[in-house]
Amino acid sequence: MNDFDWAAMADLLELEGETHSPYVRQAFEELRHLAPRRILDVGSGPGVAACRLAATFPQAEVTAVDGAPELLARAEERAGRLGVKLRTRVAEFPAGLAGLGQADLVWSGQVVHHVGDQQGALERLAGLLAPGGVLAIVEGGLPERRLPRDLGLGRPGLEARLDAAMARRFARMRAELPGSVAVVEDWPGMLRAAGLTDVRSRTFLVDHPAPLAEGPRRSVRRTLERQRTVLNELLDAEDLATLDRLLDPAAPEGVDRRADLFLLTAKTVHFGRRPGH
């Protein structure tokens, strides 16, 4: 694994997973016809999608797979709380994917871009499918929007500059991954190159308009806190001061109190099927 401290991100991943869950529900609806018997959620994190899979396909054996045991413990707690059946398995990707056994559905949300050789990772994931089985990966989509362009603090256009800084950080993260391979990130093309057919992509809108409920509001706070930390060297002093003001719990224009805060994003799921019955 790279320099991400995934275990420390458990709260953020769980909140974000819950806030984004409308897209996961819609994507799983599209997979109902598969009636999968064995499902793997590869890179499950704290198990929000894995538990949703278990609830959507109660007759299936669902296994959450991740490199961080702390996150799998969270997934188990969550499954217990929700009363769904979930197995967990610690595995480091891509090497640890061998030996997971065949599945009718492999779901992998926002994980492949954390592996150095993305095409190689897709080939390993495709290799887990039983004939006729489906691989669904979440990659691409659009960054979150949460604030008006002119938010009454600092220079207008803060979020566009956060996106640009996150993109620079992302490029550095990719370059530093072990075995990093540059590839044109044409996800449908890459799924086809991994031997899959009936490849298609669908983008789902996640739309929480203002005024935000408590959960999405906390998710926005956590995400901005993380951006404030990881972008410290990549933003100018004025934007950092604006972020500090937004994150000040006492500030009336801060994210805890603003009436105009919203959460809008889009998630793209790319599906491919292993040829066979």
Ligand X SMILES: C[S@@+](CC[C@H](N)C(=O)[O-])C[C@H]1O[C@@H](n2cnc3c(N)ncnc32)[C@H](O)[C@@H]1O
The binding site for ligand X (CB under 6 A) comprises 1, 6, 13, 17, 43-45, 49, 66-68, 71, 92-93, 109-111, 114-115, 138
SS3 of 268, please?
strand
Q: How far is the CB of 120 from ligand X (least distance, A)?
A: 12
Nearest by Cα to 126 from 197, 25, 26: 197
Report whether 89 contacts 100 (CB < 8 A): yes
- CB closer to ligand X out of 36 and 45: 45
- CB closer to ligand X out of 17 and 36: 17
Dist. CA 214–CA 216, nearest whole Å: 6
Query: How many CB atoms within 10 Å of residue 214?
Result: 7
Residue 140 CA to its chain's centroid (Å): 10
Residues facing residue 270 across a β-bridge: 137, 201
- CB closer to ligand X out of 141 and 154: 141
- CB closer to ligand X out of 66 and 123: 66
Q: CB nearest ligand X: which residue?
A: 67
Q: How far is the CB of 47 from ligand X (least distance, A)?
A: 8
The secondary structure element, H or E, covering residue 223 is helix 214-230
Q: How far is the CB of 202 from ligand X (least distance, A)?
A: 16
Q: How far is the CB of 194 from ligand X (least distance, A)?
A: 18
